[in-house]
Structure 1
Amino acid sequence: MDGFEDVDLDGIEFAPVEGTGERLPLLTLAEAHDLLDWLRQAAAGSGPDAAVAGRWAREIAARIPSRE
Structure 2
Amino acid sequence: MDGFEDMDLDEIEFAPVEGAGERLALLTLEEAHNLLDWLREVAAGNGPDASVAGRWAREVAARIPSRD
TM over 0.5: yes
Cα RMSD after superposing both structures: 1.5
Aligned partner of residue 67 in structure 2, secondary structure: coil
TM-score by length of 1: 0.64
| Gap runs ≥5 in structure 1 | 1-21
> What's the offset of the Cα at 1:42?
0.1
CA distance in 1, matches of 2:57, 2:24: 21
Give per-residue Cα distances to partners, 1:23-42, cap 9 Å, x unaligned. 75200000000000000000
- Number of corresponding residues: 47
Question: Kindly, what percent of the aligned residue pairs are identical?
Answer: 81
- The runs of 4+ residues in structure 1 deviating greater than 3 Å are none
**Structure 1 equivalent of residue 38 of structure 2:** 38
When Rg is computed on C-alpha atoms for both structures, the one with the higher figure is 2
So what's the TM-score if we normalise by structure 2? 0.64
Aligned twin of 1:66: 66
The equivalent of 2:48 in structure 1 is 48
Structure 2 unaligned spans of 5+: 1-21
* Separation in structure 1 between the aligned mates of residue 35 and residue 23 of structure 2, nearest angstrom: 17
